[in-house]
Amino acid sequence: MKKIDISIEPMTRLEGHMGAFATADAESGKYVDAYVYATMFRGLEDILIGHEPADAIWLAQRSCGVCPTPHATAAVLACDMAYQAAPPPLAVALRNMAFMAEEVYDGALGCGILEGPDYCADVVKKTNPDLWEKAQGAAAPHAKEHGYATIADMMIALNPVTGSFWLRCLGAAKTGISMATILCAKHPHQNTFVPGGIARTVELKALEQYYAMLATEVSFTKELVPFIDDLIDFCAANGLAEVGEFPFNFQSWGCYDDPYAYNAKYADMGKWGLKRKLPPGIVIDGKLVTNDLIEMNVGVQETVTRSYYNDTPKAEFPTDPCKNPLTKDHPWNESTKPYAAKAMDFENKYTWAKTPRWLDWKQRVDGGTHVLSANPIARMYVAAISKDKEESTGSSVKFTLPQGTVAGSRVADPVTMEWKIPAKNNTLERVRARAYYHAYSAYWAYLQTLQALEMVKKGETKVWNAYKKPKEGFGVGMVEGMRGGVAHWVVMQKGLIHRYQIITPTAWNISPRDDQNRPGPYEASIINSKITEPVNGDKVTGVDVVRTIHSYDPCLGCTVQIFNPEDQLVATHELSHIHADDVFEREFGE
């Protein structure tokens, strides 16, 4: 074995700060070990203690300027539940529309700005010259839809700043943000979600503005999906299909509540959860284990064996509101107490990220804990195999985008799209799923806008229900950000936050080794992954490590916040702008 160690820190084109250490074996052509770590402390959960629970709706968004609305949504659902404050149907619809606007913005950002440059001409020429040579002679099968004749043309179009498709994605992201702003007053960190509804009266003019902007997103996604399909199919056929594989082990909390089913009651969460446009589900070894949100919630565990935290000693709350058993590692019992230790000590504690796992407490599989990933492929997979939805076939998700003519668009006719369960859950397929989820969110946004217009037409214009706030309460809000499932848990005592916990999709994916020495999804996806670049003596750039991690679209600002070694919590890390590096200089030393 000819070992080559590589260290990539900081890794760019993601939100927040992280590093990766991997060991490549030049003889086998694979990576044989990997450790991925977060380099900042999460302090927001402690900052929230003692606040009004509703304050979390605004403060928790400061986890991240890229994806604040999923945090706002999870927080307001948790507060609805703790306050026993169910919103009226139009408020649910408007919340959905704001959330959907962020999903289309974030999907364009991920596919084109954060992950797309991994396959751009400037990078591929440097790291995979053989792939570039083939790309120049490879015709793009869907050139008519997206406008690029060859794969090489597409790769040039993904070059940061100068590439035409890169710029198209940036424009689509801007449009999505504008859509969210119509309903949320501003973005990032919107301020209209409140317990019991939304602090936004609705006028037809605002809905019409939203609808007009949505038309441009629908038009764009009719080009985005075939563009990504062509790129992914070409790369898969030319050696990249063996990069970044992970088992079909997923969690998806589902999202987009039914306005007439959601009532904010924990006891009914299993019922209204199934009414979501995207259903919830736990998948282990490719099989749907449960789609009951209550069972899914009870099974959530977060441990700190290899993380810079002290363990939670015991369960303060032995059961949930329905008398189901809770362990000490459930978020309603968990605390966040930092324990700083040596950096990159991979045999002990080595990261500020915690270790989420899911406990099969009803023994549907084996009664143990499971390593699950959270990302667009997870929710598309759950949607595909949950057959109670019209769009679900059992092996795919099939839907039709409406007709619409937008200036500059290439496809005006209705387009039927079908995301099919792939043979592998690898780096490429995670990128493809993100593009299809962009289209699927645009599809649901279109239908939700029509429903909201119909509500207004019928006079259902109420956007908030009055409520009497109790002194004690439990709440959980579980939704899907673009990166995957994000959930907030609150325990309210004496009218204030007694405990607050956030588990983000990146927390699931970047999780370190657990007490059974099982790596989290990032690390597991790198280990045994193929090295696709030429090995130059004892050097590799690590492009396959970078592509694999980027395929999960990391958001470290959501996962960790700033820590002052003098025991002072300084502030939450926040990114409120889109950033991109032209040829990921830090990774490749340029």
Structure confidence at residue 557 (pLDDT): 59
Structure confidence at residue 11 (pLDDT): 82
Q: Which mean pLDDT values do the consecutive 10-residue runs of the chain (590 residues) have?
A: 90 82 95 93 85 94 82 97 98 97 94 96 97 98 98 98 97 95 91 96 91 96 98 98 98 98 98 97 98 98 94 96 98 89 92 96 98 98 92 97 89 96 98 98 98 95 96 97 95 97 95 97 98 90 96 74 42 28 33
325: preceding bond cis by omega (within 30 degrees): no
Structure confidence at residue 42 (pLDDT): 63
Residue 50, CA distances (Å) to 381, 499, 515, 589 in order: 39, 9, 32, 46
Rounded Cα distance, 363 and 385, in Å: 21
The domain spans of the chain are 3-588
Structure confidence at residue 560 (pLDDT): 52
Residue 548 in contact with residue 530, Cβ under 8 Å? no
Residue 576 in contact with residue 65, Cβ under 8 Å? yes
Residue 386 in contact with residue 252, Cβ under 8 Å? no
Rounded Cα distance, 339 and 42, in Å: 12
Rounded Cα distance, 573 and 39, in Å: 12
- If you write DSSP's letter for every residue of 89-149 in order, what string do you get? HHHHHHHHHHHHHHHHHHHHIIIIIIIGGGGSHHHHHHH-HHHHHHHHTPBPTTHHHH--S
Q: 323: Cβ–Cβ under 8 A, 6 or more apart, which residues?
A: none
Residues facing 35 on adjacent strands: 21
Residue 105 in contact with residue 173, Cβ under 8 Å? yes
Identity of the amino acid at 216: T
Residue 393 in contact with residue 384, Cβ under 8 Å? yes
Structure confidence at residue 564 (pLDDT): 45
CB atoms within 10 A of CB 545: 28
In CATH, what is the architecture of 3-588?
A: Orthogonal Bundle (1.10)
Backbone angles phi, psi at 354, to 5 degrees: -85, -175
Q: Which long-range contacts (CB under 8 A, 24 or more apart) does 387-396 make?
A: 388/274, 388/279, 389/277, 389/279, 395/420, 395/421, 396/420, 396/421
Rounded Cα distance, 566 and 90, in Å: 48
Structure confidence at residue 63 (pLDDT): 77
Q: Which of 357, 488, 408, 4 is nearest to 167 (CA)?
A: 408
